[in-house]
Amino acid sequence: MKTSKQIGTWLAMGALLLASGAGALAATWTDGGEGNDWDTAANWQGSTVPADNEAVTFGNLTPSVSIVSVNNNHDDLLVGQITFTGSTAYTISGLVITSTNSNNVVINNSSVRQTISADFYSGAFINNLAINGGAAGLAFGKFINTSTNNWTYTFNNGTTIISQFYITNDTTGNGTNRNGYQMGLTGNGTVVFNEVYDSTDSENTRAFGLGLYNGQNMILTGTSYTKGTIQIRGASTVILRDNADLNVANDFKMDEGQHNSAIINNSSVRLDKLTWNTGTLGGTGSILATRGALAQANNADYRIAPGDINSVGKLSFTDENLVWSNEFSTVTYDWNFNDLTAAAGEGYDQIFVEQGFNLGVNTQYVLNLIGLSGATIDDFADVAPGASWDIISAGSGITNFELTHWTATLPDDVILTLSSDNTKLQLLLIPEPSTWALLGAGAALLAFLRRRR
């Protein structure tokens, strides 16, 4: 944990940087000394250890070395900018590194992935940080923000992997939006978080969250918790995978505007409420909303895609009722199938709702049948008459189903219907008229023969 004296040092350095411009100085690692310590002068060009706030570069060495480990043994290290070049893969470990630059904090211009495993702090006076992963990407261990107000991280190019991300390490609670998102993610790259937390202080009760903008892609792979809101907007995407477990104490918002996506694959989300204003919701995971899930905006377009966009699976809503109750909105259900004889979620998509499912009054639905792995609509003809596929299943029943509110191009002899107990919305394969005639004739002949006896 940083001390108040250290934070004061950051503020002073911040003022100096604003006056003089960060990165005015630069130092280059040469690995020419004994060992791999940061504070060994011979390891730096000109045999001079970089000063506080100085930009540093790690590039190819002479003779060439493919892998280099650098140990930061400099206490309270302040770095203006870190740049990687060439084809040498570096791992920087050791003591805490604190960034003092708000523009291109870490840049990977090299051809290989670079790693900073030392705890990485962003300075308290910084509210915008740019991370450029380049084509090869970056990897961080613990990444800790110390700003007290709204701020933005821009993850550009390639993929940046962060093992542990702490939204704030400040204990004063000076955030300007205590109930909303505090950290904005924006950029054209992808950021992968294994774990996300509000604070390194587990007793901190402030509500900090995440906001995604301008096409930012965020992937979660581990256990994450935020007491605030997660908001997705501006054609951004959140993907949960690898048994990720996300806990959101407030709202999970897929906001209005450009098309957004939330894909929950083999993972679980626990949240207070799902507010779905627009975009695609899909995956093979489980969503538990203590106040239910709501498609909120009128005259909006929604897309539901169990099993991800181009695969088969079951998307589950557990514990609470699911409500899509907005008038004059359109929900497009991309129903994927590749094996019509398999179980739901294995051969074809299914939405599963543990409690009740309210389809909404005047909400319009478009059902798209999408064959995968060579499957086509003609495959329905190969299944025995009377077969059915539960495309939506709700334990406590489905309400407000109106066939006139559904648009679908179905195969011959396949109808969309609600089961007699109102718990399943099904595609049902009925016999052709000629088959009905044969069955009827057979029944009549059987009755005739019985009478003859």
- Model confidence pLDDT, tens digit, residues 51-62: 999 999 999 887
Q: Report if residue 57 sits inside a domain.
A: yes
Dihedral pair phi/psi, residue 400, rounded to 5°: 65, 35
Q: Report if residue 447 sits inside a domain.
A: no
pLDDT band for position 342 (cuts 50, 70, 90):
very high
Whether 284 shows a pLDDT value over 60: the answer reads: yes
pLDDT at 295: 63
| Of the candidates 440, 382, 380, the residue with the CA atom closest to the CA atom of residue 415 | 380
- Omega cis (within 30) before 385: no
Residue range 180-199: mean pLDDT, rounded: 74
Residue range 323-335: mean pLDDT, rounded: 81
Structural domain of 392: 4-437
Does residue 281 or residue 176 have the better pLDDT?
A: 281
CB 339 within 8 A of CB 346: yes
Whether 305 shows a pLDDT value over 70: the answer reads: yes
Q: Report if residue 450 sits inside a domain.
A: no
Q: Report if residue 166 sits inside a domain.
A: yes
Total of domains in the chain: 1
Q: Report if residue 49 sits inside a domain.
A: yes
Whether 138 shows a pLDDT value over 90: the answer reads: yes
* 133: three-class secondary structure by DSSP: coil
Q: Report if residue 443 sits inside a domain.
A: no
Q: Report if residue 451 sits inside a domain.
A: no
* 221: three-class secondary structure by DSSP: coil
- Model confidence pLDDT, tens digit, residues 207-234: 566 777 777 888 888 877 776 778 887 7
* 292: three-class secondary structure by DSSP: coil
Q: Report if residue 133 sits inside a domain.
A: yes
pLDDT at 325: 64
